[in-house]
Amino acid sequence: MQRTMTLNKKQLLFLVTFLLLTVTASAFEHIGSTVNFMEYEPKVIQKNLHRQKPFFLLFAAQWCHWCHVFNDKTLADEKVYNYLNKNFVNIFIDADINSVAYQKYKAKGVPYTVFLNPDSSLYFKYSGTLYAKPFLEIIQEVNQSVKKGLSVNREEKEAFQYYPPTQFNKNTLANFRRTFVKGVLDNFDLEEYGIGNRAKSILPETFIYLLNTAKDKNRQDSLRWISATLLKAIEKIYDPVEGGFFRYAETRDWQVPHYEKMAGLNAGTALLLYKVDQEKPHPKLKKAAEQTIEYLSNTLYNADVGSFLSFQEADTSYYFLNKNRRANVDPPFVIEKIFTDNLAVTLNYLLEALNYTGNKSLEKKVLSSLDFLAEMILNNERLFHYYSVPDQKWRAKSGLADYAFQAKLFQHAAAKFQSERFRQVAQKILHVAQREYFDVEKQIFIDPELAAEDYEYLMEMNGGFAFGFMEQTKLTGAQTSSSAEPLITYYSGLEELLEVRLWAANDWEFLERYASFLNAADQLYASSTNP
């Protein structure tokens, strides 16, 4: 059973004062690291069990500012890297490229540290960046405790017991929806806005679902609170010069932004801004929506490839400069990789955003990006996880998320543009996914590299496939909704887990998963004749 250690305040000296830093992010290169890292592959743990050392797994990402800080300030310390090299099996995991591993170890953000016992069982894990001295204390403690066979704060957690429903039921799903809407609204911060009382971020999928689903007073409250949240975000985590929203803020009052810009988050936020402005107009909302689209179209679009990119790195000093001073310095680096799952999410949002704007240039870029993905899918017998712009090659085997998000995307695109080509792409995605990931006994899509108990992740993935099947029904008239129903039915009993998570969770990523699933479930709900 996995357990998470809670470190003391001295040990967990997180870098929340980073506004004082002047470090400029450079590419995180584990290959040139002073730590003797092995690069992650599925069997790397099993291959190194004979060494009888604890494992140090580091999840990082090229766009992540704090990953660069951790590499430059902590791992480069002589005492740290010497101790790691002598006492640990060190494994570097690119969180974007190895998204399955990221999900397997339930990582939350980057950098993320996981320590495993010599037998590969979990010792403890934590999120965040530590300076050299406290990190050295941690790894010394881990190594000595492991040698002594000691546990550190290994709190028992009772596993959630789930018994999937055997029949689709509208009433069950309606209760699920009400629980979700009430839970989100109950956890709105009515003083600082946003969800929860810790780190703050925009949650496009959750907020859009509230606007589309909530009724009467809940609908009025949703519109008012979401509007206030967006205005707060524009004030605190928005780039007024170049447009675009930063990833999130560390504090309840939206301070200490993490300055990375993510394509999917910005596309979803632009759509949300358009939707809210249409009902509750505000000049700041529309301006931010248009600027965010401009940012995506200019900075995060590669005209040579003909596709939107995925991420732009952070720079703690750049975003304090005005327009004139920025012209004299290099902007934060745009990652020259296009991740299939991220691009699919981005385009799904932008397809709907086209309903709110007459931006023909945006439409051309969306169509070009769709064609870019379509070529990869139609010309290969499998999907790839990312495209390397410098190498001009598709790389890495795709995972379940790549298939699920693209199944939804291309059915959406086929319907919007009445495109037979996009419909064929969607059909191929579903066909290959069924061959690679479909569990005939359970009648759901699973990832064999992940635990079947990873309910919330698999719920979201199956919602994406369900959406694809249902859209295919609309386009072809075939009875493919029968393929969607078992996917929704299997996870329609997760209301109990949702209730637990609403009150106990320290992060809100899970809300986006539930909102995505419920969006697909509601479509099935509307078309079903079941009681």
In this predicted structure, what is the pLDDT of residue 11?
A: 41
Nearest to 273 by CA among 284, 287, 289, 291: 289
| Cα dihedral value 212, 214, 216, 219, nearest 10 | -70
In this predicted structure, what is the pLDDT of residue 529?
A: 52
Report DSSP state, residue 245.
B
In this predicted structure, what is the pLDDT of residue 501?
A: 87
pLDDT string in tens for the chain (531-residue length): 333 344 443 343 333 323 222 232 233 456 567 899 998 988 999 999 999 999 999 999 999 988 988 999 999 999 999 999 999 999 999 999 999 999 999 888 899 999 999 999 889 898 889 999 999 999 999 999 988 877 654 444 567 889 999 888 888 989 999 999 999 999 999 999 999 988 999 999 999 999 999 999 999 999 999 999 999 999 999 999 999 999 999 999 999 999 999 999 999 999 999 999 999 999 999 999 999 999 999 999 999 999 999 999 998 899 999 999 999 999 999 999 999 999 999 999 999 999 999 899 999 999 999 999 999 999 998 899 999 999 999 999 899 999 999 999 999 999 999 999 999 999 999 999 999 999 999 999 999 988 888 999 999 999 999 999 998 777 666 554 578 999 999 999 999 999 988 876 667 789 999 999 999 999 888 876 544
Contact indicator for 164, 493 with CB cutoff of 8 Å: yes
Q: Are strands 438-439 and 444-445 parallel, antiparallel or unpaired?
A: antiparallel
- Please give the Cα distance from 200 to 189 (Å, whole number): 10
- Please give the Cα distance from 441 to 427 (Å, whole number): 22
Between the alpha carbon of residue 468 and those of residues 416, 462, 463, the distances in Å are 14, 10, 9
* Contacts of 531 by beta carbon, 8 Å cutoff, 6+ apart: 169, 170, 171
State the CB neighbour count (10 A cutoff) for residue 8: 9
In this predicted structure, what is the pLDDT of residue 327?
A: 94
Question: Which residue do the tokens 């075939």 mark?
Answer: 478
Cα torsion angle, 82, 84, 89, 93, sign: negative
Contact indicator for 293, 362 with CB cutoff of 8 Å: yes
In this predicted structure, what is the pLDDT of residue 240?
A: 96
Contact indicator for 95, 61 with CB cutoff of 8 Å: yes
Question: ∠ at Cα 21 (197, 7), nearest 5°?
Answer: 50
Main-chain phi, psi angles of 261, to 5 degrees: -115, 125
Residue type present at position 310: S
In this predicted structure, what is the pLDDT of residue 316?
A: 82
> What is the token pair recorded at 476?
């072809």
In this predicted structure, what is the pLDDT of residue 503?
A: 77
> What is the token pair recorded at 73?
């300030």
In this predicted structure, what is the pLDDT of residue 3?
A: 37
In this predicted structure, what is the pLDDT of residue 500?
A: 87
Report DSSP state, residue 158.
P
357-366 CB contacts, 8 Å cutoff, 24+ apart: 357/274, 357/289, 357/290, 357/293, 359/293, 361/297, 362/293, 362/297, 365/297, 365/301, 365/308
Strands (E), 263-374: 301-302, 307-308, 311-312, 337-339
In this predicted structure, what is the pLDDT of residue 478?
A: 58
Whether a cis peptide bond, with omega within 30° of 0, leads into 111 is yes
Contact indicator for 241, 322 with CB cutoff of 8 Å: yes
Nearest to 177 by CA among 417, 495, 429: 495
Contact indicator for 275, 208 with CB cutoff of 8 Å: yes
- Please give the Cα distance from 234 to 256 (Å, whole number): 14
In this predicted structure, what is the pLDDT of residue 124?
A: 87
Chain-centre distance for alpha carbon 367: 24
- Please give the Cα distance from 311 to 216 (Å, whole number): 38
- Please give the Cα distance from 471 to 351 (Å, whole number): 15
- Please give the Cα distance from 184 to 210 (Å, whole number): 9
Domains observed in the chain: 18-148 (3.40.30.10), 160-188+399-531 (no CATH), 189-338 (1.50.10.10)
